[in-house]
């Protein structure tokens, strides 16, 4: 699905593509009634996270790299839902919406200022021309890969910890593919940053001469989203994760599927 970057930011970050994940979360009572369905959801989600991340390694379109990272993060949300941790899936969905919107809108600023060029192979050395867009894409990429203490870290790390803490074959399977997808995500995210801003210039002369940073009307939303990409996960983590969280009380999880209870009362 293609469209202008504001539309891509909307459908990839918060509305259309995550509708299926939200449906699974709200229908948790139905999924909890069948362990075989939960097993199927976990396997499909983990395979999706790794497959989409591996495809993103070989994309040369700026927006396609970010779009395939969306597919990969959806796989994380799906397989943790299959492991019966719906509140953590919703937490990652909300965190993902913030930094993915930041990435798409920042990419839109670069495309707009570079005469609508989207091919990473025809960019390079744009750091001095797009310093604000570079900073925003870097913040979004660091949040996407799960850099400690940024927004993506709190949900992504929790997902991988819960997968390995399941102490089952499917849990180990999800953990292995999740870690592999995380490695691929780091690789193609920093590949995007390098080819766009640091690599020697490989664009047309007329494009570089006319290149310009986006106006304030396009830059201002990026600052708002960058604040969320840094602090949103830290602020909202206690609202979404744990037995006492508000969101956990609104979903249905069988007690024998909820292994986060072990860490909740570990000290006692």
**What is the residue-level pLDDT of the chain in tens, covering all 268 positions?**
567 888 888 888 888 888 999 999 989 889 988 899 999 999 999 999 999 999 999 999 999 999 999 999 999 999 999 998 888 999 999 999 999 999 999 999 999 989 888 999 889 889 989 999 999 999 999 999 999 999 999 999 999 998 998 889 999 999 999 999 999 999 999 999 999 999 988 888 888 888 889 889 989 999 999 999 999 999 998 888 777 676 766 677 776 677 666 555 544 4
pLDDT the model gives residue 47: 97
Of 262, 249, 85, the residue nearest 163 (C-alpha): 85
Residue 198 phi/psi, 5° resolution? -110, -35
CA quadruple 53, 141, 162, 237: dihedral positive or negative? Answer: negative
pLDDT the model gives residue 166: 87
User: Would you give the distance in Å from CA 63 to the centre of its chain?
Assistant: 14
Q: How many Å apart are CA 206 and CA 157, to the nearest integer? A: 44
Which residues does 77 contact at the CB level (< 8 Å), separation at least 6? 18, 21, 45, 89, 92, 93, 96
């Amino acid at each position: 699905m293609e469209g202008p970057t504001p539309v891509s930011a909307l459908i990839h970050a918060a509305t259309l593509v995550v509708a299926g994940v939200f449906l699974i979360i709200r229908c948790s009572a139905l999924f909890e009634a069948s362990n075989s369905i939960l097993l199927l959801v976990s396997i499909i989600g983990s395979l999706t996270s790794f497959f989409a991340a591996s495809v993103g390694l070989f994309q040369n379109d700026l927006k396609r790299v970010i779009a395939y990272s969306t597919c990969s993060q959806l796989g994380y949300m799906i397989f943790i839902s299959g492991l019966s941790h719906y509140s953590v899936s919703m937490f990652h969905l909300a965190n993902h919406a913030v930094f993915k919107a930041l990435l798409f809108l920042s990419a839109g600023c670069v495309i707009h200022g570079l005469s609508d060029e989207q091919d990473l192979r025809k960019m390079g050395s744009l750091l001095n021309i797009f310093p604000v867009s570079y900073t925003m894409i870097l913040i979004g990429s660091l949040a996407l890969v799960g850099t400690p203490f940024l927004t993506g870290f709190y949900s992504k790390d929790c997902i991988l910890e819960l997968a390995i803490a399941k102490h089952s074959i499917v849990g180990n399977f999800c953990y292995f593919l999740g870690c592999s997808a995380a490695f691929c995500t780091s690789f193609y995210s920093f590949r995007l940053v390098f080819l766009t801003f640091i690599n020697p210039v490989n664009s047309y002369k007329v494009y570089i001469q006319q290149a310009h940073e986006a106006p304030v009307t396009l830059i201002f939303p990026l600052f708002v989203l960058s604040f969320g990409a840094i602090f949103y996960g830290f602020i909202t983590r206690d609202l979404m994760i744990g037995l006492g969280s508000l969101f956990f009380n609104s979903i249905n999880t069988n007690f024998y599927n909820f292994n986060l209870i072990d860490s909740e009362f570990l000290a006692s």
